[in-house]
A and B are shown apart, each in its own frame.
Chain A
Amino acid sequence: MRTSRRLLILLPYLWLGLFFLVPFLIVIKIALSDSVTASPPYAPTFSLDEGLAGLRASLAALDFENFVWLAEDGIYLKAYLNSVKVAAIATLLTLLIGYPVAYAMAKAPQDWRKTLLLLVILPFWTSFLIRIYAWIGILKNEGFLNLTLMKLAIIEQPLAIMHTEIAVYVGIVYSYLPFMILPLYASLERTDGRLLEAAEDLGCGALAAFRQITLPLSLPGVVAGCFLVFIPAIGEFVIPDLLGGSGTLMIGKTLWLEFFSNRDWGVAAAVAIVLLTILIVPIVLFQRHQQKHQEELG
């Protein structure tokens, strides 16, 4: 009985250890290795047949050269800063679009709500790639948006949106909108209606009541939604690759190119490590926030 329980713990533990923790350590090791023209394209490689001396020799060969390279070449720093900027602006836009929708859902008649929730979640289940693909057809120079605007005689020349940062914002807002709406809706729906009634009875206008009651009470949802959009948006690859142009530097795309085009595994691994370091702050803040919120509810 005790052994079977131990086995139960061991199975997922070993799985995550082997396929999550060990790969992570390997990334660190390769980030400290040198790039060489060989297969695999990095040195030193650990080999067991040289024993402890070989291990010590290869450990001694590790250095921070790749990180120095990242710091010296301005393009990486630019890519990091730009990723944070794009993710932050996109998060703000998602909040501005998501809030009124979540608010309306929370105010909608009870028997609509389940259907509305389903309608918001449904696109999330549809392939990510197809959703981005749909926007290529809309945003490109001879796409639906430009055709419509030109037919309505609002513009004469097609707007160049595709392959710009604007297209990346559209892609992020569109893909992550459900992640924003769901926590917002959850906190707005819990708002006690009696508070608003009391405010109205005491002569508070609708706008003031919203600002002083609804908005502060929905803040946990706002914070959760923003983290849920911001964190994955920073490392995003598909959206900047398909919608953004060559001028849109984002770190996920840089890592991809470094690995698949330049075949520089060391630099790619170093880019990954720095990306994770940047993400640690928002992730820890997010987890704290969730824990605090759980305790308040419980």
Chain B
Amino acid sequence: MIRRFNIFNLTSLTFGLAFLYLPLLLVVIYSFNDSRLVTVWGGFSTKWYGIALNNDAYLEAAWITLRIAFVSATLATVLGTLSTVVMVRAGSFPGRTLFSGMIFAPLVMPEVVTGLSLLLLFVAIGLDRGFWTITIAHATFAMCYASVVVSSRLASFDRSLEYAALDLGCTPFSAFRQVTLPVIAPAVISAWLLSFTLSLDDLVIATFTSGPGSTTLPMKLYSSVRLGVSPEINALSTMLIGIVTAGVITASLVNRRQERRRQQDHRAAAAAA
């Protein structure tokens, strides 16, 4: 590619990023609006944050959502990593095609269908809907995403390291724990974070699989949004945007530092050899 970054490129980048960020920026700015009218500026105020934070319904929903996201992300990461190890390592086993189909299908399944089918299962087996049904549903679709994230890392893993550990008398389990797992750890952490975010963000599947007393934050938000734009939702949204932004930027900085350290290690190893 010819390195000529011209005015045309700069314009399309500017417009592209403006398109992505302007809507969110408006939400953030107008969360500090004193006026109840959401599009008329009535002076700076933080009162809507106080109102949003004192709304027990939101807080309760947020707490449930976080708990579900934490448990389902952990389940999804364990199951997703296991699935990847199975797919990459186990060779052929009966039903391998079915298994790879089942790990791929939820990625492209419309949310409404996933939600409906899980709800019908829970009704059929007579499971009371609530915290655990949402958690199971989220773990099931997130484990497929987790598996994709881990598999790219595991595919590039140098298997001779593991063979060396086995030759030196490690059991397969401890070889996996002491050699493979540390190498794929960054991917496992990414998988957990992705599963966590997917769960936090999900409205459709949660609506299908929830029961009385387990309203998640997206469900609560959805029912408020349907009634229209309000400064209180702006304040709540701004807090959520802030948390996510801080999290993503921290994760990417940590990632970059690890990458740099690894490159240094490689250079040091090359120099020593």
What residues make up the interface of A, taking CB atoms closer than 8 Å to B?
A: 1, 4-5, 8-9, 11-13, 15-17, 19-24, 26-27, 30, 40, 97-98, 100-101, 103-109, 114, 116, 118-123, 125-138, 140, 142-144, 147, 174, 177, 181, 188-189, 191-193, 196-197, 200, 214, 231-232, 234-238, 242, 252, 255-256, 259, 265, 268-269, 272, 275-276, 279, 283, 286-287
Residue B108, interface by CB 8 Å: yes
Residue B268, interface by CB 8 Å: no
B204 touches A238 (CB 8 A): yes
- Give Cα A121–Cα B3 distance, bound, in whole angstroms: 24
Residue B23, interface by CB 8 Å: yes
B20 touches A133 (CB 8 A): no
B61 to chain A, nearest CB (A): 13
Chain B residue numbers with a CB within 8 Å of A128 are: 201, 203
B1 touches A196 (CB 8 A): yes
Task: Kindly identify which residue among B8, B83, B229 contacts A140, using a CB–CB cutoff of 8 Å.
Answer: B229
Task: Kindly identify which residue among A101, A174, A276, A283 contacts B113, using a CB–CB cutoff of 8 Å.
Answer: A276
Residue B2, interface by CB 8 Å: yes
B102 touches A17 (CB 8 A): yes
A125 touches B79 (CB 8 A): no
Counting chain B residues whose Cβ lies within 8 A of the other chain, the interface size class is 35 or more
- Give Cα A106–Cα B5 distance, bound, in whole angstroms: 9
Mask for B53-86, Cβ within 8 A of A = 1, else 0? 0000000000000000000000000011011011
Task: Kindly identify which residue among B13, B99, B120, B124 contacts A13, using a CB–CB cutoff of 8 Å.
Answer: B99
Chain A residue numbers with a CB within 8 Å of B19 are: 97, 174, 177
Residue B116, interface by CB 8 Å: yes
A107 touches B117 (CB 8 A): no
Interface residues of B in 89-110 (CB under 8 A from A): 90, 93, 95, 99, 102-106, 108-110
Chain A residue numbers with a CB within 8 Å of B82 are: 8, 11-12
Chain A residue numbers with a CB within 8 Å of B136 are: 19
A118 touches B16 (CB 8 A): no
- Give Cα A73–Cα B19 distance, bound, in whole angstroms: 40
Q: Looking at chain A's contact residues, is the secondary structure mostly helix, strand, loop, or mixed?
A: helix
A242 touches B248 (CB 8 A): no
Decide yes or no: A142 and B39 within 8 Å by CB, A13-B95, A123-B24 being known contacts: yes
Mask for B110-133, Cβ within 8 A of A = 1, else 0? 111100111011011000000000
Residue B30, interface by CB 8 Å: yes
B27 touches A272 (CB 8 A): no
- Give Cα A1–Cα B2 distance, bound, in whole angstroms: 56
A250 to chain B, nearest CB (A): 10
- Give Cα A128–Cα B244 distance, bound, in whole angstroms: 12
B123 touches A40 (CB 8 A): yes
Name the CB-closest residue of B to A173: B19
Task: Kindly identify which residue among B103, B112, B171, B244 contacts A235, using a CB–CB cutoff of 8 Å.
Answer: B112
A127 touches B120 (CB 8 A): no
